[in-house]
Copies of this chain bind each other. A is one copy, B any other.
Amino acid sequence: MSRPTKSSKLSHVDERGRVRMVDVAAKPETEREAVAEASVRMSAEAVRAIRSQSVKKGDPLQTARLAGILAAKRTADLIPLCHQLPLTHIDVELRPARRGRGYDIRARVGTKARTGVEMEALVAVTVAALTVYDMLKAVDRSIVIGPVRLLEKRGGRSGHYRRKR
C-alpha cells in the first residue's frame, strides 16, 4: 500500500483522486487550539428583527451558538477525511459586524490530540452562520455568508499560524 507524496505527479488512473485519512499515529498528543471567523451580511430589516427579538423561529444568536457547538463535535462525520477529535472546549461568539451590516461569528475550539482543530472551528462558525440564515430567511432571503476563514491556529508541528490582515 504505497502512498503518493505531496509532490508526486500521479499518472496512474487508479490512483487519481484516491482519498485516504492520513496517518497521524506517529504524531504526539499536544494541546491545540484554532480560531475561525464567519461574517453574515444582512438587510437593515433583518438586523432589526434580531434586535427586537421578533423573529418567528426564536432568537437567532442563541440558536446559532448552540448549532455551532453541536456541529463542531460532529466535524469528522461531515468532513470525510477529518480525524475524530475529543474537543476540550468550544466557544462561539456573535458580534455586530465590523464592516457592513450583520454579524461576525467567531469560534475558538481546543483539543489535546494528534492533529489540529481548524476544521472544527470552521465548521462551528459556518453552521452558526447557516443557522442565522435559516432563522431570518423569512425576513431576508438575500443574506450572504462569508468570508469564512481561519484566524489563528496553535499547537502541533506546523507551529503558530496567525492570519495577516
Listed in ascending order, the chain A residues whose CB lies under 8 Å from chain B are: 1, 3-10, 14-25, 31, 38-39, 49, 52-59, 61-63, 65-67, 69-71, 73-74, 76-93, 95, 106, 108, 110, 112-114, 118-119, 122-123, 126-127, 129-131, 133-135, 137-139, 141-150, 153, 161, 163-164
| Chain B residues positioned under 8 Å from A23 (CB to CB) | 88-89, 110
Least CB distance, A67 to chain B, in whole angstroms? 5
Contact among B39, B79, B83, B110 for A86, CB-based, below 8 A: B83
Chain B residues near A61 (CB, 8 Å)? 14, 17
**Which 4 A-B residue pairs are closest in the complex by CB-CB distance?**
A146-B146, A17-B59, A19-B58, A23-B89
Determine which residue in A14, A49, A55, A73 has the highest number of CB atoms from chain B within 10 A of its CB, and name it.
A73
Give the distance in Å from the alpha carbon of A136 to the alpha carbon of B127 in the complex: 20
The distance in angstroms between the C-alpha atoms of A24 and B120, with both chains bound, is 17
Q: With contacts A21-B91, A119-B134 known, is A85 near B83, CB below 8 A? A: no
Give the number of times this chain occurs in the complex, counting copies: 6
Contact B81 A134 (CB under 8 A): yes
20 contacts between A and B (CB under 8 A): A4-B54, A6-B138, A10-B54, A14-B61, A14-B95, A16-B53, A19-B62, A19-B66, A21-B87, A23-B88, A24-B89, A25-B112, A63-B80, A79-B130, A126-B145, A137-B150, A141-B150, A141-B153, A144-B147, A146-B148
Q: A18, A93, A108, A123: which has the most chain B beta carbons within 10 Å?
A: A18
Residue of B nearest to A39 (CB): B146
User: Is B65 a contact of A69 with CB atoms below 8 Å?
Assistant: no
